């Protein structure tokens, strides 16, 4: 017998019919002899609808009241799911975040879970009940309702799994696992049976939207075994593991290719090559709350140097304005920029033990005549920035060259 936490997202509970389908699945797991705790999101579209209501009153709603409002979507689904489970003859009980003491900090709209008192859940499990918990919400030390940020139900599930020391946390969603890359771009992308936690973290932060990144971080911190599965199709899904050695044995050097369409690049040339210059250029950008992603500084020549960095596309105009100001102050040669670029990254723990990965990557891009504008590397990742018109071609050719495609059934 195992203790399993299952999380169903908005589309999986998007109608009464679907909720009844989830009830059947949950009961089936319970009948296999497992203790089951279920975390649910609001019905699809509901959270957006609530946010829109708030915006009709104020562009910047009071954060405390915003949380009181948007947390209601999940309260609806926990009750409906419990009813559906009981209708099928299985005892169940629903709880809001407050009721099971999902304690968070007070950062409304993006609160972090500090602690969960799992006693009440344990008592129910002992009594043979299925426990249904509202995702996305918690309560701060003053009793205020908080929410965890969009997609936060994943984090609720992982946190509950950690608190209960669950054997597995299963995230049911509308895809059947984590893929080598986005199948909408590369039709022969392959579902991964396993991916290491570190790789998942890179994939999630690079815009692969299967799991909320905070949930992945949380799982890593507590070593929660996490599995992503399709909510209606049967299948093993993708297991996120912590055992790198087992992964390396499978001799897949690269596990996946992630990409980010939301990038823009900025360059300032001809600035004095002297101490403090990076701080003078990048400091004001950071102070304006603009997140900088990649940074390149050239080797100086004739006492001058250049900087190129990337920011989110939404911040491009603002960053450019600031940079123009700095350029004037420093007497820089010029400022240029481009908001039609993308970042593409290959990710794999196997990179640690294999040489020549970068040259394989660059060779594949060269063969397609794709110009690389920037390169950055980490231990398990190589990223390049290219013109957005090459996105599809680049991802496809990299997917090919690293042999990530689906193998025809033998
Ligand atoms: N209902 C919330 C949202 O739409 C939380 C979640 O679905 O995970 O963001
Ligand atoms: Mg969601």
List, for residues 371-389, the tens digit of each pLDDT value.
999 999 999 999 999 999 9
* C-alpha span between 310 and 339 (Å, rounded): 9
127-136 pLDDT per residue, tens: 999 999 999 9
Residue 249 has pLDDT above 80, yes or no: no
Q: What is the pLDDT of residue 310?
A: 96
Confidence at 254, pLDDT banded by 50, 70, 90? very high
Would the pLDDT of 209 be above 80? no
Instruction: Give yes or no for residue 247 having a pLDDT over 70.
Output: no
**Which ligand does the CA of 42 lie closest to?**
1
Q: What is residue 389's predicted lDDT score, i.e. its pLDDT?
A: 97
**Residue 139: beta bridge partners?**
103, 145
**pTM here?**
0.85
Q: What integer is the mean pLDDT of 281-301?
A: 92
For the segment 350-370, the average pLDDT, to the nearest whole number, is 94
- Mean pLDDT is lowest, of 48-52, 149-153, 258-262, 352-356, for 352-356
Neighbours of 53 (CB within 10 A): 12
- pLDDT at residue 274 in the model: 92
Report the nearest-CA residue for atom 5 of ligand 1: 151
Residue 314 to residues 212, 309, 339, Cα–Cα distance (Å): 21, 15, 9
108-147 burial, b at 16+ Cβ within 10 Å, e below that, comes to bbbbbbeebebeebbebbeeebbbbbbbbbbbbeeebbbb
Nearest Cα residue to 6 out of 226, 215, 193, 179: 226
Q: How far is the CA of 153 from the centre of ligand 2 (A)?
A: 7
3-174: CATH, from 3.40.50.1820, 3.20.20.70, 3.40.1160.10, 3.40.50.11890: 3.40.1160.10
Look at 165 and 354; give whichever has higher pLDDT.
Answer: 165
**Residue 151 Cα, ligand 1 centroid: separation in angstroms?**
4
* Position 301 pLDDT exceeds 90: no
pLDDT digits (tens, 9 = 90+) for 69-87: 999 999 999 999 999 999 9
C-alpha span between 270 and 151 (Å, rounded)? 44
Res 7: pLDDT? 98
The predicted model gives 139-155 an average pLDDT of: 96
| CATH 3.30.2130.10 is right for the domain spanning 257-401 | yes
Query: Strands 304-312 and 292-297, how do they pair?
Result: antiparallel
Ligand 1: atom nearest CA of 150 is 9
Neighbours of ion ligand 2 (CB under 5 A): 9, 41, 151
Q: What is the mean pLDDT of residues 176-204?
A: 91
* Nearest ligand to the CA atom of 155: 1
What average pLDDT score do residues 104-121 get? 95
**pLDDT tens figures, 302-335:** 899 999 999 999 999 999 999 999 999 999 999 9
Atom of ligand 1 nearest to the CA of 154: 8
Does residue 250 surpass a pLDDT of 60? no
What is the pLDDT averaged over residues 89-117?
A: 96
User: Which of the four pLDDT bands, split at 50, 70 and 90, describes residue 52?
Assistant: very high
Q: Percent of the chain scored above 70 by pLDDT?
A: 97
Asked whether residue 208 carries a pLDDT value surpassing 70, the answer given is no
Task: Tell me which residue has its CA closest to atom 6 in ligand 1.
Answer: 151
Q: Which of 7, 102, 136 has most ligand 1 atoms within 8 Å of CB, for mutation?
A: 136
Ligand 1 atom index nearest CA of 136: 5
pLDDT value of residue 360 = 96
Residue 354 has pLDDT above 90, yes or no: no
The boundaries of every CATH 3.30.2130.10 domain in the chain are 257-401
pLDDT over 80 (residue 206): no
On the question of pLDDT at 149 being above 90, the answer is yes
Asked whether the predicted pLDDT for residue 126 surpasses 60, the reply is: yes
283 pLDDT above the threshold of 70 = yes
> Higher confidence at residue 300 or residue 11?
11
Atom of ligand 1 nearest to the CA of 151: 8
CA 159 – CA 5 distance, rounded (Å): 10
Residues of the chain with CATH 3.40.1160.10: 3-174
Of 376, 264, 196, the closest CA to residue 204 belongs to 196
């Amino acid at each position: 017998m195992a203790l399993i936490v299952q999380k169903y997202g908005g589309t999986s509970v998007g109608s009464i019919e679907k909720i009844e389908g989830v009830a059947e699945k949950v009961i089936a797991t319970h009948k296999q002899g497992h203790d089951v705790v279920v975390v649910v999101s609001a019905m699809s579209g509901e959270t957006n609808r609530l946010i829109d209501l708030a915006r009709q009153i104020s562009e910047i709603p009071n954060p405390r009241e915003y949380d009181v409002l948007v947390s209601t979507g999940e309260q609806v689904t926990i009750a409906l799911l419990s009813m559906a489970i009981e209708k099928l003859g299985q005892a169940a009980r629903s709880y809001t975040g407050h009721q099971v003491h999902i304690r968070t900090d007070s950062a409304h709209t993006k609160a972090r879970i500090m602690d969960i008192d799992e006693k009440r859940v344990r008592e129910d499990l002992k009594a043979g009940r299925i426990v249904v918990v509202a995702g996305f919400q918690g309560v701060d030390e003053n009793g205020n309702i908080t929410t965890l940020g969009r997609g936060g139900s994943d984090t609720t599930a992982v946190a509950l799994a950690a608190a209960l020391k669950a054997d597995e946390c299963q995230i049911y969603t509308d895809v059947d696992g984590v893929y080598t890359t986005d199948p909408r771009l590369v039709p022969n992308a392959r579902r991964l049976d396993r991916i290491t936690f570190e790789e998942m973290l890179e994939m999630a932060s690079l815009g692969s939207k299967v799991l909320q990144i905070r949930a992945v971080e949380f799982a890593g911190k507590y070593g929660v075994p996490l599995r992503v599965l399709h909510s209606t199709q049967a299948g093993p899904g993708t297991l996120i593991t912590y055992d790198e050695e087992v992964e390396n044995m499978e001799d897949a050097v690269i596990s996946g290719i992630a990409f980010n369409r939301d990038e823009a690049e900025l360059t300032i040339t001809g600035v004095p090559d002297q101490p403090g210059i990076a701080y003078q250029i990048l400091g004001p950008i950071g102070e304006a709350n603009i997140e900088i992603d990649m940074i390149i500084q050239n080797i100086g020549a004739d006492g001058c140097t250049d900087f190129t960095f990337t920011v989110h596309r939404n911040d491009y105009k603002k960053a450019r304005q600031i940079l123009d100001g700095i350029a004037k102050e420093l007497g820089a040669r010029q400022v240029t920029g481009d908001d039609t670029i993308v970042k593409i990254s290959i990710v794999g723990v196997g990179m640690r033990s294999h040489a020549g990965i970068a040259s394989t990557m660059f060779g594949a891009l060269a063969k397609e005549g794709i110009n690389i504008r920037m390169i950055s590397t980490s231990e398990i990742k190589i990223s390049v920035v290219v013109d957005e018109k090459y996105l599809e071609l680049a991802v496809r050719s990299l997917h090919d060259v690293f042999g990530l495609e689906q193998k025809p059934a033998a």
